[in-house]
Amino acid sequence: MMKRMMIVLVAVSFACASLLMVTSCAKKQVKVEEGAKPAPAVTPAPTAKPEKAAPPKVEKREAAKKLEEERQARLRELERAQKLRAEIRAFESTNIYFDFDKSELKPEAQAVLEKKAAWLRAHPEYKVRIEGNCDERGTNEYNLALGERRANAAFKYLNALGISADRMTTISYGEERPADPRHNEEAWAKNRRDEFKLYK
Amino acid sequence: MEKKSMKFKSSSTSRILKVHNGTFLIGLLLTIVLFWQGDASARIFIDINAPSIQKIKIAIPDFRNLSREGENPELASELAGVVANDLEMSGYFSSMDKSAFLAEDKDALTQEEIHFKDWSVIGADLLLKAGYTCIGESVELEVRLFDVFWGRQILGKRFLGKAKQYRTLMHRVGNAIIKRLTGNQGIFLTKLAFVGTATGHKEIYVCDYDGYNLKRITFDRNIALLPRWSPKGDKLFYNSYRGGKGPVLYLKDMVSGRVKTVSARKGLNIGACWAPDGKSAALTLSEGDNPDIYSIDLEGNILRRLTNHWGIDVSPAFSPDGTKIAFVSNRSGSPQIYVRDLKKGTEKRLTFEGNYNTSPAWSSLNRIVYAGGEEGDRNIYTVSPDGSNLRKLTENQQNNEDPCWSANGRYIAFSSNRDGAYHIYIMNANGQNQTKITSFKGEQTSPSWSP
């Protein structure tokens, strides 16, 4: 495989060199180019020479180059995965918050959802689970309904921004999963929220 | 195994008397009323419908051990302790401190042997005397209740039970005393189901009405909520997230232990409330969109849609005759309680004070209890179904939530965080005698009272 690539490379450089010298019409260039491809097969002489002359050196260089390329590819892959993980983390850790006993989206929440919609559009392979939550005040049953309303509010907004309904599910946890277990206004404000969990 | 042996003396017409420092105080708010009914079947009557109840002082000395070998001597005080606690919990009695007892009639069990003056002088209105005999694993009890002032026996019964289950045996004694003195069924053999967090997960538990005999019912390791006893006490509805798809309604048969899924529709399947006949239930279904109240059969099939509104409709509670439901709706902007007539289809708002009124429960005596208030502390209120006669039962005691009735409509169980964490409390229907029932690890909330 690598050998053939080298052959092609050499052939191409030959072709290029001849191209520089030839200053005729485009058709000829095409011809030369066409001729270049089968070149290694037809005239292996120029490439075969260095190969035979110093095969261990070239192979070494080839192997190193191959390894380096693989390493670079892995790094790029890693970087991409890291970036994706960071994006997913950011996506999942950015909640939207609600006022007491309300399920209307505030402008801040809408801005967050617009960013989420953009990300979801760019990553069509991901689906999102929207989890509605309430603060501890009030009753479980009412809060379960309120939590569902909060999840549905985000669902509808994302849907209106073009995210298909079959990529989204909702669940209400009512007051059962506080983000902050304390019993004060600061905690309650953190607990009246929608969380977003990505899955494939 | 219950033998009646009652003797009564002369008769007169009904008389109200109050024993207090040895004098009669007639016409007091609360009294022991003696009804003489011709043939000498007299009864002391506690007017449990009075707005507030002055407690009757009852002396319960340790029971006499009549066992041949004197086995199980510890039961002498244990048995007396259970029934003393029962009567205390009823709210109608105060059980007297044993250190105040003067009488030296320790072994006396019968009217003839008892020195009533020694009991009268320390202020006892009633005296409970009993002897027990252990035979193998069984206990036989002989119980006598006396009216101290008149020196008369007003209850005499024998009970047989297992020594290991002596609490149950004594609850039966307590119920017999309540039945005798009030004409009503006692609550001492009832159970409470509730949500507990001891394991770090919300699971359903059941215990006796007095907090003993704790048993865990669910092992879902997720979120289990809203237990609801059936009218017969043989089944329990509850919600659980164990399938990961939101709150699904399950039904546990408390006899066989089997659990079945009743409603697993998309979204909410919450807050099942048994119809009085135990054949259907009302609950909130949202189908993932708008929460409304429906009635379903025990297989989960929808029988009827009971509310239809864009607002949140939750927490149905049937009236005792099953013709109406109380429920919570935020259609006016904040959660309030409404009553819907299921035949006429009319709806009427019941609560107007406070901006957060939820958790209605409708008693067999036709009162509605709910948790209400402003955004701050939440309190327990009762109100008549027509909106009249509103009463606040808790105050300055932190949050008080999830009220439910005892089957006889005389008591309310609720959860309160007045001691820091949430625990279950019970109180009389008028708010008196608020008593902490559970002190288990974690928090206990959302009680449901078995019949």
Q: What is the pLDDT of residues A26-66, one digit of tens each?
A: 444 444 444 444 444 444 444 444 545 556 778 888 899 99
Angstrom distance (rounded) from CA B270 to CA A174: 11
Q: Which residue has the tokens 């307590």?
A: B174
- Residue A9 pLDDT more than 60? no
The per-residue pLDDT for range A158-197, each reduced to its tens digit, is 999 999 999 999 999 999 999 999 989 999 999 999 999 9
CA separation (Å) from B361 to A34, A68, B10, B414? 89, 74, 46, 11
Q: CB contact, 8 Å: A29 with chain B?
A: no
Residue A70 phi, psi dihedral angles, 5° rounding: -65, -40
Q: What is the dihedral of CA B254, B260, B265, B268, to 10 degrees?
A: 20
Helix (H, G, I), strand (E, B) or coil at B381: strand
Per-position pLDDT tens, chain B of length 451: 444 443 333 333 333 333 334 333 333 333 333 333 333 344 456 777 766 678 899 999 999 999 998 889 999 999 999 999 999 999 999 999 999 898 777 788 888 889 999 999 999 999 999 999 999 999 999 999 999 999 999 999 999 999 999 999 999 999 999 999 988 889 999 999 999 999 999 999 999 999 999 999 999 999 999 999 999 999 999 999 998 889 999 999 999 999 999 999 999 999 999 999 999 999 999 987 899 999 999 999 999 999 999 999 999 999 999 999 999 999 999 999 999 999 999 999 999 999 999 999 999 999 999 999 876 789 999 999 999 999 999 998 999 999 999 999 999 999 999 999 999 999 999 999 999 999 999 999 999 999 9
H/E element holding B411? strand B411-419
Question: What is the Cα–Cα distance from B330 to B328, expressed in whole angstroms?
Answer: 7
Q: Which residue of A has its CA nearest to B334?
A: A101
Please choose, from the candidates B278, B338, B280, B274, the residue with its C-alpha nearest in 3D space to the C-alpha of residue B308: B338
Give dist(CA B274, CA B264) in Å, integer.
18
Q: Are A140 and B226 in contact (CB under 8 A)?
A: yes
With bands split at pLDDT 50, 70 and 90, how would you rate the model's confidence at A6? Answer: low
- Say if CB B401 and CB B420 are below 8 A apart: no
Whether A145 sits inside 8 A of B291 (CB atoms) is yes
Q: Do A101 and B330 make contact, defined as CB atoms within 8 angstroms? A: yes
- pLDDT > 90 in chain A, percent: 66
Contacts of A24 (CB under 8 A, 6+ apart): none
Which DSSP category does A105 fall into? P
Domain ranges of chain B: 55-182, 191-449
Strands B64-65 and B126-135: parallel
Residue A120: per-residue pLDDT: 97
Distances (CA, A) of A105 to A85, A163, A172, B27: 27, 17, 16, 62
Cβ-Cβ contacts under 8 Å for A99 (sequence gap 6 or more): A106, A192
The verdict on a CB contact (< 8 Å) between A101 and B356 is yes
The amino acid occupying position B35 is F
Query: Which B positions 220-239 lie with beta carbon below 8 A of chain A?
Result: 223, 225-226
CA distance A103 to chain B (A): 11
- What are the sequence ranges of the domains in chain A? 2-16+24-83, 96-199
- Restricting to B residues 292-331, those with a Cβ less than 8 Å away from any Cβ of A are 312, 314-315, 328, 330
Chains A, B: CB contacts within 8 A come to 74
Residue B403: both structure tokens together: 């009220």
> Dihedral, CA atoms, A62, A64, A68, A74, nearest 10 degrees?
90
User: Does the pLDDT at position A11 exceed 80?
Assistant: no
User: Which of A 84-103 lie inside 8 A of B, CB atoms?
Assistant: 100-101
Q: B4-8 contacts: CB < 8 A, separation 24 or more?
A: B4/B156, B4/B157, B5/B153, B5/B156, B6/B41, B6/B153, B6/B154, B6/B155, B6/B156, B7/B111, B7/B152, B7/B153, B8/B40, B8/B41, B8/B42, B8/B152
A96, A108 contact by CB (below 8 A)? yes
Q: Angle at which helices B75-90 and B166-182 pack, to 10 degrees?
A: 40
Counted residue by residue, chain A has a size of 200
Sheet strand arrangement including B224-229: B224-229, B235-240, B248-253, B259-263
Contact B312 A142 (CB under 8 A): yes
Burial class of residue B388, CB neighbours in 10 A (0-12, 13-18, 19+): exposed
Task: For residue B261, give how far its alpha carbon lies from the nearest alpha carbon of chain A (Å).
Answer: 19
Q: What is the ipTM of this complex?
A: 0.85
What B335-341 contacts at long range (C-beta under 8 Å, 24+ apart), as own/partner pairs, is B335/A101, B335/A138, B335/A142, B337/B368, B337/B370, B339/B368, B339/B385, B340/B306, B340/B307
CATH of the domain spanning B191-449, picked from 2.120.10.30, 2.60.120.10, 3.40.50.2000, 1.10.10.10: 2.120.10.30
What whole-number distance in Å separates Cα of residue B284 and Cα of residue B354? 24
A138 to chain B, any CB pair closer than 8 A? The answer is yes
Please report the pLDDT score of residue A149 as a whole number. 96
DSSP labels for B124-175?
Answer: -SEEEEEEEEEETTEEEEEEEEEETTTTEEEEEEEEEEESTTHHHHHHHHHH
Rounded to 10 degrees, the C-alpha dihedral B18/B20/B23/B28 comes to -40
pLDDT at B103: 77
pLDDT(A16) > 50: no
CATH numeric code, B55-182: 3.40.50.10070
Class of residue B276 by CB neighbours under 10 A (exposed 0-12, middle 13-18, buried 19+):
middle
pLDDT of residue B51: 67
Write out the DSSP string of A126-185: -EEEEEEE--SSS-HHHHHHHHHHHHHHHHHHHHHTT--GGGEEEEEEETSS-SS-S-SH
pLDDT tens digits along B81-107: 999 999 999 999 999 999 989 877 778
CATH code assigned to A96-199: 3.30.1330.60
A136 touches chain B (CB under 8 A): no
- Which pLDDT belongs to residue A179? 95
pLDDT tops 80 at residue A129: yes
